Chains A and B, each alone.
Chain A
Amino acid sequence: MRIPPGVSSKDFSSALQEFEAAVGKPWVFTSDEDLDLYRDSYSPVWNEDEEPIPSAAVAPDGVEQVQAIVRTANKYKIPLWTISTGKNLGYGGSAPRLRGSVVLDLKRMNRVLEINEKNHYALLEPGVSYFDLYQYIHERQLNVWIDPPDPGWGSPVGNSLERGGGYTPMHDHFDAVCGLEVVLPSGEVMRTGMGALPGAKTWQQYKYGFGPHVTPIFSQSSLGIVTKMGIWLLPPPEAYLSGTVMVWKHHDLIPLVEIFAELQDSGIIRGTTSFASPFWLGPPNPELDSLRASGSVKPLEDYAERKKIPYWSLPLPFYGPAKVVAAQWEYAKEKFSSIPGVTFQDGPSHRFPLGAEELAKIPDTVPLGIPSLHIFSLLPPGSQGHIGFSPILPMSGEALLEAMTVFDRVHSELGAGRAALVVLTSFPRALVIIDLFPVERNVERNRKTREIYRRLIKEAAAHGWGEYRTHTTFMGDISNTYSFNNHVLRRFHETIKDAVDPNGILSPGKCGIWPKHLREEKA
């Protein structure tokens, strides 16, 4: 039997018996065979000593059962690690941060509790997946859109609390959260925002309630177990239109980003997009990479001109009334026309609802609010998973050029060729740059990946760039970089953690925050 650290086998057996009494014997998992299903399929530490394999998993089907589990965990000081659908692959999957934790698997809590078509929101349990939610809406022909992230098997509750992103105008997922129900480490149930008012009619319509706003402290957090979450949805737009802006010189990136920022901050571009360049972004290409050897951008600009391949391109998504999106694209073209030599290309456009035949021809439905797993079809055959290093950059071409240079240098210095980078506009007023790494069932290669990853963390932090979210393996490393004024933010987090979770039972180590009894050991 695997046992949580610091817990006697007698206490653990007693705790398991109480878990079984709370949820029923079939929903407490202790065999190696069952617990192997809680390993991280995309682990960068697969089969190494530090791989965080759990000691048990327990799967409640309601808030009262969660409360009972938490009370038992407090009694025996059992570390719990909460998952929603367990599909947070690339960030730890269904595995804990601390080896030997008991996974609190909320997948069975999969009820869509409410959808409001007039004020466009939903109230969900954590085990609902994006596929489930879309299906629920689709079957009932409800007048709302959801915003899925790339893979649709994850949880809207889990993804929003992890501050993930999507592609439609509701792409900043935590920004769409309105009202939580949380089981606190004491076992008490708390509701945030308007939910604190008994009989409130606006729990999902006004975020802040009264007094200090605490909903955000349950995101990327170990302070409570979210059992219900309100989420704002989008009224279905009449139309989607896309067009691509193409520029041909290296330094055109600077006005390209500047004009994009103005359009985004003005609400004219409301969906997520990504910048592209055959030379700097996307998969490494030996032929094009060799053009960079001279250190000059002239050969790259010449190649772009000769081959008629834009140096930088930016697809723009527009959502709204058909007349409006057409006008927005025209307006955007006017604005970008200040860049000498700029060219434009119309992209796909759709009117909603889509017909079945039209829908069947669209490989990637995610930007249209329909969850999918299409993204996996873009991975090379034989891939076993991936992780990404993804710091937040200023919304500026200068910052992007600097970051791409730094990332490439780190890869090159560590003998790893050129970085494979993606740049997304998932969050307002900033860029996310993502350096993608394959993970494998190969200890040596994973060690190399971790070496590069950790070097990037340091280099990025030295430039003032910090990650927005990370795999459990690197949570301590990232937390260390948010060190302003002698780590006062982490010390503040620890003060709150110790106050609300004195036994340190909830998700120890999440985002680098350890309970008191493990703090020195894990620092």
Chain B
Amino acid sequence: MKTMGIRLAVVLGLILAAQALAAQEQRVPSAWTPATPSAQGQPRGYVEYQKFCSQCHGQGVGKPGTLALADKYKGEKPALLEKRTDLTPEIVKIFVRNGISVMPFFRKTEISDADLDAIAAYLTRNNKKP
């Protein structure tokens, strides 16, 4: 969708009534997360995740990545990537560099290889150690 800012709500608003319901369920009382929280005291992977991923994969209403994963997994796995414990660094990197569905691939001027390593480490931090 474009940067022009075409409001597709009118066209597509009726399409995904089911997703709208999912959005209701996703509502959380926590504060809206600003685009990039302060870097102070946070690991690099967290900061980069907030900067490049959370607008789509964060918690709260209107987060298309989270909604899409809720639709895909239907409760079998957490819709929030930050709550997953089964991701591998490799799979995180594959999705960021190849994209999926409407998620485009990200260039290295946006997310450098080092930033991507940090994001992958952040998203796999809760995995069980082998």
A139 interface residue (CB < 8 Å to B): yes
In this complex, which of A375, A376, A380, A386 has the most chain B Cβ atoms within 10 angstroms of its Cβ? A376
Tell me if A36 and B105 are in contact (CB < 8 A).
Answer: yes
Q: Quick check: which of B12-20, B80-88, B121-129 contacts chain A, the rest being far away?
A: B12-20
Within 8 A of A (CB), among B61-78: 61-65, 67-68, 71-72
B3 touching A149 by the CB < 8 A rule?
yes
A99: shortest Cβ distance to chain B, in Å?
18
- Give A404 to B63 CA distance when docked, in angstroms: 32
| B109 CB contacts on chain A under 8 angstroms | 27, 59, 86, 105, 107-108, 127
Whether A378 pairs with B3 at a CB distance below 8 angstroms is no
CB distance from B29 to the nearest CB of A (A): 6
**Does A466 interact with chain B (Cβ within 8 Å)?**
no
Q: Which residue of B lies closest to A434 (CB)?
A: B6
- Asked if A281 is at the interface of the complex by the 8 Å CB criterion, the answer is yes
The smallest beta-carbon distance between B58 and chain A, in angstroms, is 10
The answer, yes or no, to whether B90 is at the interface (CB within 8 Å) is: no
* 0 or 1 for each of B26-60: is its CB under 8 Å from A? (1 = yes): 01111110111010000000000001000110001
Q: Is the CB of A89 within 8 A of B32?
A: no
Complex CA distance for A139 and B40, rounded to whole angstroms? 13
Q: Which of B11, B27, B51, B67 contacts A283 (CB 8 A)?
A: B11
Chain-B contact segment, one of A10-18, A161-169, A502-510: A161-169
From A132, A138, A150, A362, contact of B8 by CB (8 A): A150
Write out the residue numbers on chain B whose beta carbons fall within 8 Å of the beta carbon of A285.
Answer: 14
| Binding site secondary structure of chain B | loop
Is B101 touching A383 in the complex (CB atoms < 8 A)? yes
Tell me the minimal C-beta distance from A441 to chain B in angstroms.
11
Q: Cβ of A474: which chain B residues have Cβ within 8 Å of it?
A: none
Answer yes or no: B1 CB below 8 A from chain A CBs. Answer: yes
Query: Is A100 located at the chain interface by the 8 A CB criterion?
Result: no
CB of A84, distance to nearest CB on chain B (Å): 9
B106 part of interface (Cβ distance < 8 Å): yes
Checking B1, B11, B61, B101 against A363 with a beta-carbon cut-off of 8 angstroms, the contacting residue is B61
Contact between chains at A149 and B107 (CB < 8 Å): no
Q: Is the CB of B5 within 8 A of A360?
A: no
Complex Cα–Cα for A380 and B71 (A):
11
Q: Does A496 contact B (CB under 8 A)?
A: no
| A159 x B4 contact (CB < 8 A) | yes
List the B side residues contacting A518 at CB < 8 Å: none
Interface residues of B in 89-130 (CB under 8 A from A): 97, 99, 101-102, 104-110
A29 near B11: Cβ-Cβ < 8 Å: no
A162: chain B residues at CB < 8 Å are: 3-4
- A196 contacts partner chain B, Cβ-Cβ < 8 Å: no
A62-89 residues at the B interface, CB under 8 angstroms: 85-89
Option from A88, A359, A374, A377 in Cβ contact (under 8 Å) with B2: A88
Q: Are B29 and A139 in contact (CB under 8 A)?
A: no
**Does A34 make an interface contact (CB < 8 A)?**
yes
- Nearest to A468 among chain B residues (CB) is B4
Expressed in whole angstroms, the minimum distance between the Cβ of A360 and any Cβ of chain B is 5
A364 touches B62 (CB 8 A): yes
B21 at the interface (CB under 8 A from A): no
A150 touches B34 (CB 8 A): no
Decide: A377 and B3 in contact? CB cutoff 8 A.
no
Q: Is the CB of A166 within 8 A of B62?
A: no
Q: Which residue of A lies closest to B71 (CB)?
A: A381
A424 pairs with B63, CB closer than 8 A = no
- Interchain CB contact under 8 A, A376 and B1: yes
A388 touching B2 by the CB < 8 A rule? yes
Asked if A283 meets B12 with Cβ closer than 8 Å, knowing A37-B105, A131-B55, A377-B64, the reply is yes
B6 touches A94 (CB 8 A): no
The contact of B27 among A90, A153, A361, by CB within 8 Å, is A361
A385 at the interface (CB under 8 A from B): yes
Q: Complex: how many Å from CA A85 to CA B110?
A: 8
Given A107-B107, A386-B1, 4 additional A-B pairs, CB 8 A? A155-B3, A360-B31, A366-B5, A378-B11
List residues of chain A with CB under 8 Å of any chain B CB.
27, 29, 34, 36-39, 41-42, 57, 59, 85-91, 93-94, 105, 107-108, 127, 131-132, 134-135, 138-139, 148-155, 158-159, 162, 164-167, 272, 274, 276, 281-283, 285, 356-357, 359-366, 371-386, 388, 390, 420-422, 424, 426, 434, 436, 469
Chain B residues with CB under 8 Å of chain A are: 1-16, 19, 23, 27-32, 34-36, 38, 51, 55-56, 60-65, 67-68, 71-72, 97, 99, 101-102, 104-110
